[in-house]
């Protein structure tokens, strides 16, 4: 049997073992429910920057307009105060503002809201304007006093737009989630096969390298499906939140560059290959996953991904550019740079070449460790033994 | 002129070390097509290591392995023509029986449709057809053992290597597996197995190789081994009082005498010993209450060949 066919058989087997449509559907529904629930709670608990509607009594004292910043004011007579207070108490209204002259006022709410400081600042602006007008200055002088300072900003290293940064964070989070999902499955799969004494049956039929490769392909598929499931839940959440709460999320300009998106995705996929090969080797030298201190090696990929999160805010820094080229950090940092800034073609090409070389190397080493590690039952090989396996070609 | 079919597997002067331990020390053997060859030896004697070398899972430090699978001489094994039942065997517990079998058949190169068909045939043969869709964890231990066995031969191998196929089986399943292995041989599969169940091996094997501390301690058919050891009949005597072993061992034709219980003695008698004269001599000296005869078994030969040898402390590394 050809190595390719063996790889595909194993990949298909691993994929079918862990991807079960019913479980995926339930998982997606739970994720969506959690997103909606979380957003609902956030909306109840905080203002979220959305419009705030207030009933106002004594609006003339400050000449309060119907709309100011994100506040909307609904004027009422003083006689309505008791009724309005009741409405606040009974949750029928968020707040009532009572203006007492141009220097003081009261805000009737159930609990102090996050926007109260913002409201106070907006009212202060109105009060200052009112006092200046009352001082008798001529309109030209008044306008000169109130003229804002015109500050023009020239950025040497412009920060990416909010949309780009959000996209980069989402992409990184998804990559990290996919990475850990896949590594988790690899760990469970490999240590489970060792504990269930299945290694010999498989290794007598196909080469350890084909087994590793099949696992990596199949479990990458599992990770990708899990990520797609999450993305799908996220998209449904966005649509529903728009319908329910009229939310909108700024789209990154990268959306118009599918080539960049594909390149970023490709790099993330190469990162998966690198870390999954690494993880198969680690799992093969773990005897009891519950008691092995080698589980700590699971954190290595996380450490390598951390710079990518930091790179979002400063994608042009020298250290970011270096880490975007060198494996294994390039798997996380380069996609970020692609999404938030311009990347020279040679940087991408160099990073891809180095990452592919690293994958070839780690896959080869993983194959050696895996072949012998999978046949070792009952104890974990020492690091010295692992080093010997790595030195000795079969 | 007659043309002889070449051996299906040849191991020449194989040596394998694990650190300072020599697990296999210069073993040579040739497996003829269609035979059942049994490797016997105590735990740690090197049987499993030898089988893994035969499978190509381990590379010997010295020696050579050759294959004649499909009538083609080769230096590397063709996994599609070999079946393997390891000593340490397990199952994917969360997978349905048929899918499990089809997977292993596919790994051995069988087309998926053929694999499913062959899996169904074996499940039918072993009375598990109605459990084909059940997950393996839902099967009894005996049925799981049957599935493990099927998974090693479902692809119709030319050579089946079975490491301890009777291990952990109850007597009924031992007989079933014995029948299955014979069936395999009758269908043209060559079988190499290791086992500790001497009475089963005696009934099953065409040839036996006794291994002690990584070396061949004896080889041949059971009958040849008996002859080689000069083992003939065993006399089991129950006598009044305690028998005099020195007297018994001095009798003509007696190879060995040992006390087996209070007033009981076992005599190993040479194949061509004058039995009637021997019994007459014994009767004159001892008050014999009971007498039985037994042929010397493979078990006896095994114990005498490999018994008393301290097992080497094998490294836990299977590789």
Measured between CA atoms, the residue of chain A closest to residue B137 is A196
Confidence at residue A180, expressed as pLDDT on a 0 to 100 scale: 84
Residues 6+ apart with CB under 8 A from B283: none
* Helical packing angle, A330-340 and A162-195, nearest 10°: 160
pLDDT digits (tens, 9 = 90+) for A266-278: 888 888 888 888 8
Which of A13, A193, A375 lies closest to B103 in CB terms? A13
Q: Helix (H, G, I), strand (E, B), or coil: what is residue B126?
A: coil
Classify the C-alpha dihedral B193-B196-B199-B202 as positive or negative: positive
Q: B105 falls in which pLDDT band (50, 70, 90)?
A: very high
Q: Percent of chain B scored above 70 by pLDDT?
A: 93
Cβ contact A197–B86 (<8 Å): yes
Cβ contact B57–A200 (<8 Å): yes
Q: Are residues A232 and A138 part of one domain?
A: no
Confidence at residue A276, expressed as pLDDT on a 0 to 100 scale: 87
Q: Are residues A277 and A201 part of one domain?
A: yes
- What residues of B are in contact with residue A394 (Cβ under 8 Å)? 59
Average pLDDT of span A252-256 = 64
How close A9 gets to chain B, by Cα (Å)?
7
Confidence at residue B311, expressed as pLDDT on a 0 to 100 scale: 39
Identify the DSSP state of B190. E
ipTM computed for the complex: 0.77
Answer yes or no: is pLDDT of A52 > 80. yes
Confidence at residue B3, expressed as pLDDT on a 0 to 100 scale: 58
Q: Are residues A205 and A337 part of one domain?
A: yes
Q: B82 falls in which pLDDT band (50, 70, 90)?
A: very high
Q: Which of A144, A175, A190 is the last residue of a domain?
A: A144
Average pLDDT of span A216-227 = 86
Highest mean pLDDT among A59-68, A255-264, B204-213: B204-213
Which of A16, A198, A372 lies closest to B90 in CB terms? A198
How close A179 gets to chain B, by Cα (Å)?
24
Q: Are residues A243 and A96 part of one domain?
A: no
Answer yes or no: is pLDDT of A63 > 80. yes
A188 domain residue, yes or no = yes
Give the mean pLDDT of chain B: 86
Q: Are residues A32 and A90 part of one domain?
A: no
Average pLDDT of span A356-369 = 83
- What residues of A are in contact with residue B194 (Cβ under 8 Å)? none
Q: Which of A110, A144, A178 is the last residue of a domain?
A: A144
Cβ contact B88–A377 (<8 Å): yes
Measured between CA atoms, the residue of chain A closest to residue B59 is A394
Q: B312 falls in which pLDDT band (50, 70, 90)?
A: very low
Confidence at residue A47, expressed as pLDDT on a 0 to 100 scale: 55
Q: B319 falls in which pLDDT band (50, 70, 90)?
A: very low
Rg (CA), chain B: 23
B104 touches chain A (CB under 8 A): yes
Q: How many beta-carbon contacts under 8 Å exist across A and B?
A: 77
Q: By the 8 A CB rule, do A279 and A186 touch? A: yes
Confidence at residue A15, expressed as pLDDT on a 0 to 100 scale: 92
Between the CA of residue A293 and those of A33, A190, A373, A384, what are the distances in Å? 36, 16, 16, 16
What is d(CA B58, CA B50) in angstroms, rounded to the nearest whole number? 9
Which of B55, B79, B316 lies closest to A206 in CB terms? B79
Q: Are residues A207 and A335 part of one domain?
A: yes
CATH code where residue A77 lies: 3.40.190.10
Confidence at residue B27, expressed as pLDDT on a 0 to 100 scale: 92
Residues 6+ apart with CB under 8 A from B307: none
User: What are the structure tokens assigned to B195, written together?
Assistant: 């086992």
What is d(CA A334, CA A325) in angstroms, rounded to the nearest whole number? 7
Confidence at residue B4, expressed as pLDDT on a 0 to 100 scale: 66
Average pLDDT of span A208-226 = 87
pLDDT digits (tens, 9 = 90+) for A301-322: 888 888 888 888 778 888 888 9
Q: A290 falls in which pLDDT band (50, 70, 90)?
A: low
What is d(CA B79, CA B157) in angstroms, rounded to the nearest whole number? 9
User: What are the structure tokens assigned to B100, written together?
Assistant: 């499990």
Measured between CA atoms, the residue of chain A closest to residue B61 is A394
Which domains does chain B possess? 9-89+156-226 (3.40.50.300), 230-295 (3.30.70.920)
Confidence at residue B1, expressed as pLDDT on a 0 to 100 scale: 47
* Cis amide linkage into residue A328, ω under 30° from 0: yes
Answer yes or no: is pLDDT of B198 > 70. yes
Cβ contact A200–B88 (<8 Å): yes
Q: How many CA atoms lie within 13 A of B153 on its CB side?
A: 27
Cβ contact B103–A9 (<8 Å): yes
- What residues of B are in contact with residue A381 (Cβ under 8 Å)? 317
State the residue range of the domain holding A282: 7-36+161-391
Region of residue A58 (phi > 0: left; psi between -120 and 50: alpha; otherwise: beta): left
Q: B318 falls in which pLDDT band (50, 70, 90)?
A: very low
Q: Are residues A117 and A57 part of one domain?
A: yes
What is d(CA B19, CA B37) in angstroms, rounded to the nearest whole number? 29
A186 domain residue, yes or no = yes
Q: Percent of chain A scored above 90 by pLDDT?
A: 8
User: What are the structure tokens assigned to B247, written together?
Assistant: 């007297």
Q: Are residues A185 and A71 part of one domain?
A: no
User: What are the structure tokens assigned to B286, written together?
Assistant: 């001892």
A2 domain residue, yes or no = no
A24 domain residue, yes or no = yes
Residue to test with chain B: of A204, A209, A367, most B Cβ within 10 A:
A204
Q: Are residues A224 and A131 part of one domain?
A: no
Confidence at residue A7, expressed as pLDDT on a 0 to 100 scale: 92
Measured between CA atoms, the residue of chain A closest to residue B157 is A205
Residue to test with chain A: of B54, B95, B106, most A Cβ within 10 A:
B106
pLDDT digits (tens, 9 = 90+) for B92-101: 888 999 999 9
Cβ contact A201–B57 (<8 Å): no
B318 touches chain A (CB under 8 A): yes
The count of domains in chain A is 2
Classify the C-alpha dihedral A28-A30-A31-A33 as positive or negative: positive
By mean pLDDT, which of A138-147, A220-229, B238-247 is the weakest?
A: A138-147
User: What are the structure tokens assigned to B221, written together?
Assistant: 């058919």
Residue A85 exposed, middle or buried by CB count within 10 Å (0-12, 13-18, 19+): middle
**What residues of chain A have any CB closer than 8 angstroms to a CB in chain B?**
1, 5-6, 9-10, 13, 16-17, 193, 195-198, 200-206, 371-372, 375-379, 381, 394
pLDDT digits (tens, 9 = 90+) for B22-77: 999 999 999 999 999 999 998 888 999 999 999 988 889 999 999 999 888 899 99
Q: A253 falls in which pLDDT band (50, 70, 90)?
A: low
Which of A17, A195, A377 lies closest to B318 in CB terms? A377
Residues 6+ apart with CB under 8 A from B185: B34, B35, B36, B191
Sheet holding B21-31, edge to edge: B21-31, B9-18, B62-67
A44 domain residue, yes or no = no
B80 touches chain A (CB under 8 A): yes
Q: Are residues A327 and A238 part of one domain?
A: yes
A153 domain residue, yes or no = no
Q: A-contacting residues of B 128-187, CB under 8 Å?
A: 151-152
Q: Are residues A366 and A225 part of one domain?
A: yes
- What residues of B are in contact with residue A197 (Cβ under 8 Å)? 86, 88-90
Q: How many CA atoms lie within 13 A of A108 on its CB side?
A: 20
Cβ contact B316–A378 (<8 Å): yes
Cβ contact B82–A204 (<8 Å): yes
B317 touches chain A (CB under 8 A): yes
Q: B88 falls in which pLDDT band (50, 70, 90)?
A: confident
Q: By the 8 A CB rule, do B232 and B202 touch? A: no
Q: Are residues A140 and A113 part of one domain?
A: yes
Confidence at residue B294, expressed as pLDDT on a 0 to 100 scale: 79
Which residue matches tokens 């093969």?
A284
User: What are the structure tokens assigned to B225, written together?
Assistant: 């081994």
Highest mean pLDDT among A335-349, B26-40, B237-251: B26-40
Secondary structure string (H, E, C) spanning chain A:
CCHHHHHHHHHHHHHHHHCCHHHHHHHHHHHHHHHHHHHHHHHHHCCCCCCEEEEEECHHHCCCCCEECCEEEEEECHHHHHHHHHHHHCCCCCEEEEEECCCEEEEEECCCCCCHHHHHHHHHHHHHHHHHHHCCCCHHHHHHHHCCCCCCCCCCCCCCCHHHHHHHHHHHHHHHHHHHHHHHHHHHHHHHHHHCCCHHHHHCCCCHHHHHHHHHHHHHHHHHHHHHHHHHHHHHHHHHHHHHHCCCCCCCHHHHCHHHHHHHHHHHHHHHHHHHHHHHHHHHCCCCCCCCHHHHHHHHHHHHHHHHHHHCCCCCCHHHHHHCCCCCCHHHHHHHHHHHCCCCHHHHHHHHHHHHHHHHHHHHHHHHHHHHHCCECCCCCCHHHHHHHHHCCC
Confidence at residue A48, expressed as pLDDT on a 0 to 100 scale: 55
Q: B317 falls in which pLDDT band (50, 70, 90)?
A: very low
Measured between CA atoms, the residue of chain B closest to residue A369 is B319
CA B309 to chain centre: 19
- What residues of A are in contact with residue B79 (Cβ under 8 Å)? 1, 204-206
How close A53 gets to chain B, by Cα (Å)?
57
User: What are the structure tokens assigned to A300, written together?
Assistant: 């290595």
Cβ contact A205–B151 (<8 Å): no
Cβ contact B104–A17 (<8 Å): no
What is d(CA A73, CA B280) in angstroms, rounded to the nearest whole number? 129
């Amino acid at each position: 049997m050809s190595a390719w066919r063996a790889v595909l058989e194993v990949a298909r087997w691993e994929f079918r073992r862990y991807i079960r449509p019913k479980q995926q559907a339930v998982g997606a529904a739970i994720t969506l429910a959690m997103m909606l629930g979380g957003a609902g709670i956030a909306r109840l608990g905080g203002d979220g920057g959305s419009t705030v509607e207030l009933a106002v009594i004594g609006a003339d004292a400050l000449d309060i307009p119907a709309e100011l910043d994100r506040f909307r004011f609904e004027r009422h007579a003083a006689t309505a105060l008791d009724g309005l207070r009741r409405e606040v108490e009974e949750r029928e209204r968020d707040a009532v503002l009572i203006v007492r002259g141009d220097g003081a006022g009261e805000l009737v709410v159930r609990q102090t809201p996050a926007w109260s400081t913002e409201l106070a600042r907006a009212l202060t602006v109105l009060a200052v304007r009112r006092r200046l007008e009352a001082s008798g200055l001529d309109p030209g002088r008044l306008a000169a006093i109130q003229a804002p300072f015109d500050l023009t900003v020239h950025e040497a290293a412009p920060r990416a737009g909010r949309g780009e940064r959000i996209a980069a964070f989402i992409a990184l989070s998804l990559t990290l989630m996919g990475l850990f999902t896949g590594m988790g499955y690899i760990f469970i799969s490999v240590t489970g096969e060792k504990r269930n004494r299945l290694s010999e049956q498989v290794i007598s039929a196909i080469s350890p390298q084909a087994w590793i490769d099949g696992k990596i392909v199949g479990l990458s598929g599992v990770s990708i499906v899990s990520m797609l499931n999450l993305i799908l839940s996220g998209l449904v959440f966005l649509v529903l939140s728009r319908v329910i709460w009229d939310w909108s999320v700024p789209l990154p300009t990268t959306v118009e560059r599918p080539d960049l998106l594909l390149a970023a995705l490709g790099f993330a996929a190469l990162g998966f290959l690198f870390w999954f090969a690494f993880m198969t080797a680690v799992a093969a030298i773990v005897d009891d996953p519950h008691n092995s201190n080698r589980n700590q090696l699971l954190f290595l990929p996380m450490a390598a991904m951390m710079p990518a999160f930091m790179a979002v805010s400063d994608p042009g820094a020298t250290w970011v550019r270096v880490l975007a080229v060198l494996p294994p950090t390039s798997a996380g940092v380069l996609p970020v740079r692609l999404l938030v800034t311009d990347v020279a073609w040679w940087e991408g090409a160099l990073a891809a070449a180095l990452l592919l070389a690293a994958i070839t190397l780690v896959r080869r080493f993983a194959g050696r460790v895996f072949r012998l590690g999978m046949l070792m039952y009952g104890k974990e090989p020492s690091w010295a033994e692992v080093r010997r396996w790595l030195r000795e070609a079969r | 002129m007659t043309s002889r079919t070449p051996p299906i597997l040849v191991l020449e002067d194989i040596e394998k070390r694990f650190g300072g331990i020599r697990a296999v020390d210069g073993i040579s053997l040739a497996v003829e097509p269609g035979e059942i060859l049994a490797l016997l030896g105590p735990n740690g004697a090197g049987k499993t290591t030898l089988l893994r070398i035969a499978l190509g899972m381990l590379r010997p430090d010295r020696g050579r392995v050759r294959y004649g699978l499909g009538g083609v001489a080769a230096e590397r094994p063709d996994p599609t023509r070999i079946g393997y039942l390891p000593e340490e065997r397990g199952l994917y517990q969360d997978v349905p029986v048929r899918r499990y079998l089809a997977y292993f058949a596919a790994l051995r190169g069988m087309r998926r449709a053929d694999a499913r068909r062959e899996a169904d045939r074996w499940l039918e043969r072993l009375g598990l057809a109605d459990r084909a869709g059940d997950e393996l964890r839902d099967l009894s231990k005996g049925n799981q053992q049957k599935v493990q066995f099927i998974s090693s031969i479902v692809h119709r191998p030319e050579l089946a290597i079975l490491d301890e196929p009777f291990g952990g089986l109850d007597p009924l399943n031992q007989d079933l597996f014995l029948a299955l292995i014979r069936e395999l041989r009758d269908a043209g599969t060559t079988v190499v197995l290791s086992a500790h169940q001497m009475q089963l091996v005696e009934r099953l094997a065409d040839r036996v190789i006794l291994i002690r501390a990584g070396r061949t301690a004896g080889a041949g058919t059971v009958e040849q081994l008996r002859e080689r050891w000069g083992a003939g009949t065993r006399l089991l005597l129950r006598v009044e009082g305690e028998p005099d072993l020195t007297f018994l061992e001095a009798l003509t034709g007696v190879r060995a005498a040992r006390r087996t219980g209070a007033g009981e003695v076992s005599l190993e008698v040479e194949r061509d010993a004058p039995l009637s004269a021997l019994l007459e001599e014994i009767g004159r000296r001892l008050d014999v209450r009971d007498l039985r005869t037994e042929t010397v078994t493979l078990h006896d030969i095994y114990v005498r060949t490999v018994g008393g040898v301290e097992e080497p402390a094998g490294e836990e590394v299977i590789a």
